[in-house]
Amino acid sequence: MTDTVKKVVLAYSGGLDTSIILKWLKETYNCEVVTFTADLGQGEELEPARKKAEMMGIKEIYIEDLREEFVRDYVFPMFRANALYEGTYLLGTSIARPLIAKRQIEIALETGADAVSHGATGKGNDQVRFELGYYACKPDIKIIAPWREWDLTSRTKLIEYAEKHQIPVPKDKRGEAPFSQDANLLHISSEGKVLEDPWVEPDLDLVLSRMVSPFNAPDKPTEITIDFEAGDPVAINGEKMSPATLLTKLNELGGANGIGCIDIVENRFIGMKSRGIYETPGGTVLFHARRAMESLTLDRGGMHQKDELMPRYAELLYNGFWFSPEREMLQAAIDKVSEKVTGTVRMKLYKGNVLITGRKSPYSLYSEGMVTFEEDDVYDQRDAEGFIKLNALRLRLRKGL
C-alpha cells in the first residue's frame, strides 16, 4: 500500500502526536502531505501549527475557522434532539468529527490527494467517527491510521522518535502527562492517566479549564434570558447573536457559575468502558433552556415521541453515523417538531445549577383557564369520570369484572 499513496490530507493539530504522524507519513509512504487544522473553538492559537508545518517542509497548509458552521450546522441540529448519550453525555467530541472529516475530503478533492489520515488511536471512538465520515463522503478514499500501523506504542517511543527527527517536544510531555484533553466550542474532555481509575476523585482545580468548580462559584446567581426561534437559540438577554458567538457567551456565563462538569464512565462503541471528565458549560445551560421552551410549545404526543427517538439519535452520533440515512430521517422528524419551539426562557445560574424561573411563547399551549384551581367555565370536571373508567376497564377485567 505504501507505494500507492501520492498525497495525503492529515487532520493536524500541531501537537506532538500529529507532528510525529506528519513526519512518519512522509518517511513511511514517501508522499506529499497536506495539513488541515480546523478552528472549532478549542481556544488555542493556531498559527503555531502553521509555523510547525512549514518548518517540517509542508507546502499546502489549510487552517480554517469553522466555528460558525460547526455550531449552526452540527451543534444546533443535535441540540434540537436534546441528545444525551447514556443519559449524561452531551456528545461534545462526537459532534465535531463529521465536520472535520467532511472538510478533509473536500480538501483532498481540491488538492488531488488520494488519501486522508487522522491521529486517533486504535482503542477509541474517534477512529470510527473519522473513518465513517470519510467513507460517507468519498467511498473509495484511502485511509491511513498510523496508530494501527506503526510500532510507536508508548509515550517514550514517541518522544524518542520526535527527538531523532528534531520535532519539538513540549516540556510537559517529557514526563507522564496528567491527562489528555480534547476541546472545541461545545466542550472539553479530559481522559487518561490520573483519571483512569474510576474510584479516584479528580482534582477539579487541576482538570477544569473552561469553568470554575461549583464549590468555587459565586454566591450570587446570574439571571439571564435566552430567545429561541424554531428550536434554535438566537439571543441572550435580548441581544441577537450568531450561533458561535451565542455559544461562546453561554460558555462564559455557565463556566463562571460552575455549570456543566460531569464525571462519567461511558461505553465506547468498540466495546470497552472509559472514564472521562467533561466540561460543557454553555451546552448544559442551552439543554435546560430548550427543555423549558419545549415544555410550553410542544404537544404531549410530539414531545414524548421525540424523547423516545432521542436515545437512538444520540447513539448514532456517538458511534459516528452522522451521515447515515437513519440520522437524516430522525433529524427531519425532530426539525419538524421544533418548528414552533419559539419564545423566551428566563433562568438563574447558580453554583452548578440551571434554575428555570419563567418561559413565554407566542405558540404556548399552556392554558391558565384549563389548569386554574379557581372556578372556570371551560372544563367540566365530570368528564374525567368516563375517561378514568375507560382507562381502568382492562385493569378491572383482569380482576374478574
Query: Does 126 qualify as catalytic in the annotation?
Result: yes
Encoded amino acid at 400, one letter: G
Encoded amino acid at 328, one letter: E
Q: Which of 114, 180, 335, 376 is catalytic?
A: 180
Distance CA 389, CA 383 (A): 11
Q: Which of 97, 103, 210, 359 is catalytic?
A: 97
Sign of the Cα pseudo-torsion (93, 20, 161, 152, in order): positive
Q: Which of 13, 17, 190, 361 is catalytic?
A: 17
- Which set of grid coordinates corresponds to residue 73? 450546522
- 255: exposed, middle or buried (Cβ count in 10 Å: 0-12, 13-18, 19+): buried
Distance CA 89, CA 92 (A): 8
Query: Does 97 qualify as catalytic in the annotation?
Result: yes
Distance CA 401, CA 397 (A): 5
Distance CA 131, CA 105 (A): 11
Distance CA 152, CA 367 (A): 65
Beta bridge partners of 37: 63
The residues, any chain, with a CB within 8 Å of residue 330's CB and separated by 6 or more, are 81, 309, 312, 313, 316
Q: Cell 451546552 maps to which residue?
A: 283
On whether the CB atoms of residues 274 and 191 are closer than 8 A, the answer is: yes
Encoded amino acid at 301, one letter: G
Type and span of the H or E element at 24:
helix 16-29
Query: Does 180 qualify as catalytic in the annotation?
Result: yes
Distance CA 85, CA 234 (A): 25
Phi, psi of 190 (to 5 degrees): -125, 125
Q: Which of 126, 227, 275, 327 is catalytic?
A: 126
On whether the CB atoms of residues 226 and 344 are closer than 8 A, the answer is: yes
Q: Residue 306: helix, strand or coil by DSSP? A: helix
Catalytic positions are: 17, 97, 126, 180
